[in-house]
């Protein structure tokens, strides 16, 4: 795998550090060029569909990440 | 296509399960609405922030009588966030795009029961290490970065990512053998 492929795979995950005041980018997103960022977007889109299909309740990791961040 | 506003009253009442079900339908449409921003902003971060804001403002949302009003509202929030981000980061401006079209796009393929069964069957055929990497990502649900997941599996980060990549590629190949058209990027 190339370095770019490794970066794209990381950026396509739903992990983003929680932040109260600002959008928190994936730290590796900044290491990608425009083409790599678009591929990371498309990869994430494909992965979320697969994740939702594999989840018993049909939720993607993005949805689960947001649920975990909802204020109690 | 069903109207996701059927969940609105429960969401306003603070029902997280209703919000989860609404998000399952709304997330792909919000994400698709941001496609033209993908080179300029971290779309995943904007999608998550948008969904959080929808939860916060839903009690004040007034439906306009058309279907999927809360989804269209979410797309507007996402769009405004994205434009603010482009301005803040002085990224190259992006062309105006299909706001309403995205809001009305197809429901996620993940809701297709045949596709779901096929993906599960293909997942169950994975070799052990790719399966562990895939399961770790799913169980973490965005809660941990890949470095943490790799350490928990006693893998280096590169090994973890290679195993995760192999998992999705094998699932894509398996779906292809079953004659199921998939997103090209899943098998890339």
Give the domain range for residue B128.
112-187
B146 to A15: CB separation less than 8 angstroms, yes or no: yes
Tens digits of residue pLDDT in A27-47: 999 999 999 999 999 999 999
Number of folded domains that form chain B: 2
Backbone angles phi, psi at B106, to 5 degrees: -60, 150
Same domain, B145 and B173: yes
Structure ipTM: 0.97
Structure pTM? 0.91
Residues B12, B98 share a domain: yes
Same structural domain, B21 and B92: yes
Domain-ending residue, one of B107, B130, B149: B107
Q: How far is CA B124 from the centre of its chain?
A: 22
B87 touches chain A (CB under 8 A): no
Residues of chain A neighbouring B35 (CB-CB closer than 8 A): 41
Judge contact between B133 and B169, C-beta under 8 A.
no
| Tally of domains within chain A | 1
Contact A9 B120 (CB under 8 A): no
Residue A50 pLDDT > 60: yes
Query: How many CB atoms lie under 10 A from the CB of residue B123?
Result: 21
Structural contact between residues A44 and A12, judged by C-beta atoms closer than 8 angstroms: yes
Q: Which two tokens stand for residue B56?
A: 């916060």
**DSSP designation for B65:** S
């Amino acid at each position: 795998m190339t370095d770019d492929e490794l970066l794209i795979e990381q950026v396509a995950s739903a992990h983003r550090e929680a932040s109260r005041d600002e959008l928190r980018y994936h730290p590796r997103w900044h290491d990608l060029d425009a083409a790599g960022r678009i591929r990371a977007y498309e990869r994430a889109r494909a992965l979320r569909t697969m994740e939702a299909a594999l989840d018993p309740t049909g939720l993607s990791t993005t949805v689960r990440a947001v649920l975990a961040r909802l204020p109690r | 296509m069903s109207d996701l506003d059927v969940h609105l009253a429960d969401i306003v009442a603070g029902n997280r399960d209703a919000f989860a079900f609404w998000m399952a339908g709304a997330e792909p449409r919000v994400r698709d609405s941001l496609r033209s921003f993908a080179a300029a902003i971290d779309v995943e971060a904007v999608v998550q922030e948008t969904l959080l804001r929808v939860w916060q403002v839903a009690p004040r949302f007034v439906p306009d009588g058309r279907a999927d009003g809360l989804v269209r509202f979410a797309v507007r929030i996402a769009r405004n966030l994205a434009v603010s981000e482009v301005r803040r980061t002085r990224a190259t401006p992006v062309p105006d795009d299909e706001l309403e079209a995205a809001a009305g796009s197809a429901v996620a393929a993940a809701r297709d029961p045949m596709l779901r069964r096929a993906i599960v069957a293909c997942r169950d055929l994975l070799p052990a290490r790719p399966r562990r990497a895939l399961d770790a990502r799913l169980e973490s649900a965005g809660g941990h970065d890949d470095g943490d997941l790799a350490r928990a599996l006693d893998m280096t980060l590169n090994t973890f990512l290679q195993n995760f990549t192999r998992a999705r590629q094998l699932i894509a190949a398996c779906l292809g053998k079953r004659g199921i058209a998939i997103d090209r990027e899943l098998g890339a």
